Structure 1
Amino acid sequence: MLKNGILLQNIKDSISAKTQALQSEVFFNQFERAAEALVKCYNQGNKLIVAGNGGSAADAQHLVAEFVSKLARDRDPLPAEALTVDTSIITAIGNDYGYDKVFSRQIHGKAHQGDIFLGITTSGNSPNIVEALKACRKKGVTSILLSAKSGGEAIHYADYPILVPGERTSCIQEMHIVIEHTLCEIVENSIFGEI
């Protein structure tokens, strides 16, 4: 039988991270600026491109599904793409250029000015996310970074960093999914009207 103490501590840690976010004006300002940029992207007819590793790769695909299908209302699809889903592309780039290039090469091939790239990395130091953000700078593609703590190396290359509180990867990922869903809801409300 699982010890209730582990669950209790995990719930407390999750609440603590969210409470810290609620009390951080910097966090809300970061989020607002990123959300405004994403709404502008969609209002101009562009798309969202998302990438991450491990659980953040799953989050990237989850978020893209919300944009293309729907979050909580019937509406037209919104263009979005996760760079984590095509195993042929990922393995070809990884084999030919190295794993740190699996997203940046796709940015160079698929992203256009006006699009937004959202890089998800709990540490801020994922080499392939850092390289993707550098590629965005070269192409003039706006970037949002979803990370934590100091933002690691990635913060130096992101246009709109959103840094969430939390010490544990699990708590950081929980905060990320709240932000991702909220970004989608804000875009839906802006384009299709509030429910």
Structure 2
Amino acid sequence: MFKNFISLYEKEYISALENLEKHPLEELLKIIEEAISQEKNIFVLGNGGSSASASHWVCDFNKGVSFNKRELKTRFFSLTDNIPIITAYGNDVSYDEIFVEQLKNLINKGDVLISLSVSGNSKNLVRAQDYVQSQGLKTVCITNNKPNLLKRNANLTISIPSENYGIVEDCHMYICHVLSQYISQR
């Protein structure tokens, strides 16, 4: 029974990777490399497991890329890494505003926002994306293959060809590793 589940999961994951459009990954690479070369901030956001993935992106780009290429300094930030600020805004303002309120203090012209989401409908991510776009910043969403709120106006959308939350989150990390290792090895 479990072996069958493993086989089915593997097949779905492999299918998602094989059917993942490569052109948007190339576009994201360009966005990230441009931001790095101009010393701009890249904010990576998510909720739940996607929040953990956002922190992992920060580690892989800030340590993995910068350590291997010491002259290349990356400026990745996850806005879920500071629990006190999240709970303060969540309690005193609204959970839907936890990212917007932080971004108001942090963003600069030319910065980039990357939203990792399974559903693409989390209000706090949608509001953050709308806010930074109103400030002229680029936005990227990496989410499932269904229509959703993040996709409606992101500058770049990467659609994971799956609705399985595990597969979508696995692909979040696949994209992180492909991009960070590519940049590191160039």
TM-score (norm 1): 0.87
Structure 1: 5+ residue runs without aligned partners? 22-26
Give the alignment partner of residue 137 of structure 2, picking from 114, 138, 141. Answer: 141
Which residue number in structure 2 is paired with residue 24 of structure 1? none
Secondary structure, counterpart of 1:114 in structure 2: coil
Taking a change above 3 Å as real, the CA distance of residues 80 and 10 of structure 1, as seen in their structure-2 partners, is same
Alpha-carbon distance in 2 for matches of 1:154, 1:13: 24
Deviations 1:117-172 (A, max 9, x none): 11111111111110110111121121111111135111123111111111311111
Deviation of residue 71 (structure 1)?
A: 4.9
Identity of paired residues, percent? 26
Out of 83, 86, 93, which is 2:82 matched to? 86
- Which of 58, 63, 73 is matched with 1:64 structurally? 58
* In structure 1, C-alpha distance between the alignment counterparts of 2:66 and 2:40, rounded to whole Å: 22
Q: 1:105 offset after TM fit, Å?
A: 1.3
- What TM-score do you get using the length of structure 2 for normalisation? 0.91
Residues 33-57 of structure 1, C-alpha deviation per residue, up to 9 Å, x if partnerless? 2221111111111121111001100
CA deviations on 1:42-93 (whole Å, 9 max, x unpaired) are: 1111121111001100000001011111159623342111100111110111
Distance of 2:120 and 2:144 partners within structure 1: 7
Letter in 1 for 2:165: T
Contact 1:71 1:181 in 2 (8 A): no
1:69 & 1:60 partners in 2: Cα distance?
14
2:102 corresponds to which residue?
106
Which position in structure 1 is the counterpart of 2:39?
Answer: 45
Structure 1 position 118 matched with structure 2 position 114: yes
For 1:31, the equivalent position in structure 2 comes to: 25
**Structure 1 stretches of 4+ moved >2 Å:** 71-77, 185-189
CA distance in 1 between counterparts of 2:29 and 2:93 reads 33
Partners of 1:149 and 1:3 lie apart in 2 by 27
How far the C-alpha of 1:183 sits from its partner, in A, is: 2.3
1-side partners of 2:66 and 2:133: how far apart?
Answer: 33
Q: 1:152/1:68 Cα in 2 relative to 1: closer, same or farther (>3 Å)? A: same
Task: Tell me if structure 1 keeps the 8 A contact 2:39–2:74.
Answer: no
Query: How far apart, CA to CA, are the structure 2 residues paired with 1:34 and 1:62?
Result: 17
